[in-house]
Amino acid sequence: MFSFRLQVLFAIFIALLIGMNLFGSKIISLFGPFSASVGIFMVPLAFLATDVVEEVFGKKLARQFILAGMIAILIVMAYVAIFVSLPAHERYTMNDAYVTVFKSSLRIMTASIIAFLISQFHDVWSFGLLKKKTSGRFLWLRTNVSTVFSQAIDTFLFMMIAFYQLTPKFTFAFVMGIAIPYFIFKVLFGSISSPLVYLGAWWLKNGHQNETEG
């Protein structure tokens, strides 16, 4: 039986996945000339969530998290496709804006599914390999090393599928101009968030032990 804390973490994980896909088409300025998708504030936390799950419960459950997340994205994606195609009532005057926003979300979700599966499974694999090599020590090192390579896969694969030639403005150079600072920021954000992995692992483990003993 899954503990309540694990269910909460799973809910957060799913919320992050859906949020980054629905909102990710918006580009914001970061540090002057650099720009990135708003999803930058959500993606690293999703990777941290699977690291916490794998640290406490192992690789199998972390993979189940990933597959469940993919199913959630596919369900939302199916509904978005249906809702975009449905004709609007005459009193609804914002249909063009609705279609513009959510049609781009469909492409983002497709990109996300591909990049998400490859990068997350790589993250689980590399985290598990490092855990074995370090005999379960150096959680901060395992989290950061596995996340850096997984974030690189996720960032560049996602950006090219989601944005390349989305409009004439989105050339290869323009997409890379977004992707590189996006990747750097995610790595920095993931590094300073390492204490969250320790805190999350302690919180999850402690809750599981209390419920087991109870």
Cα–Cα dist 128/200, whole Å = 17
What is the C-alpha separation between 72 and 60, in angstroms, rounded? Answer: 19
Give the confidence band of 10 by pLDDT, cuts at 50, 70, 90: very high
Among all chains, which residue has been given the structure tokens 């969250």? Answer: 196
Q: What is the pTM of this model?
A: 0.79
E strands, the chain, where? 27-30, 34-37
Give how far Cα 147 sits from Cα of 13, 128, 144, 166, Å.
16, 12, 5, 28
Over residues 141-182, the pLDDT tens digits come to 888 888 888 888 988 898 888 888 877 888 988 888 878 877
Q: State the pLDDT at residue 83.
A: 92
Looking at residue 208, its pLDDT comes to 62
Boundaries of every domain in the chain: 4-213
The more confidently predicted of residues 31 and 84 is 84
What span, in angstroms and rounded, lies between the C-alpha atoms of 154 and 183?
9
pLDDT at 139 > cutoff 90: no
Band of residue 107 on the pLDDT scale cut at 50, 70, 90: confident
Helix residue spans in 86-138 (DSSP H)? 95-133
Instruction: Give the 3-state secondary structure percentages of the chain, helix then strand then coil, rounded to 5.
Output: 80, 5, 15
pLDDT digits (tens, 9 = 90+) for 62-83: 889 989 988 998 898 889 889 9
**In contact, 81 and 106? CB cutoff 8 Å:** yes
Which numeric CATH code is attached to 4-213? 1.10.1760
Q: Tell me: the pLDDT tens digits for 14-62?
A: 999 888 878 877 878 876 677 777 877 888 888 888 889 988 998 899 8
Integer Cα distance of 1 and 198 in angstroms? 23
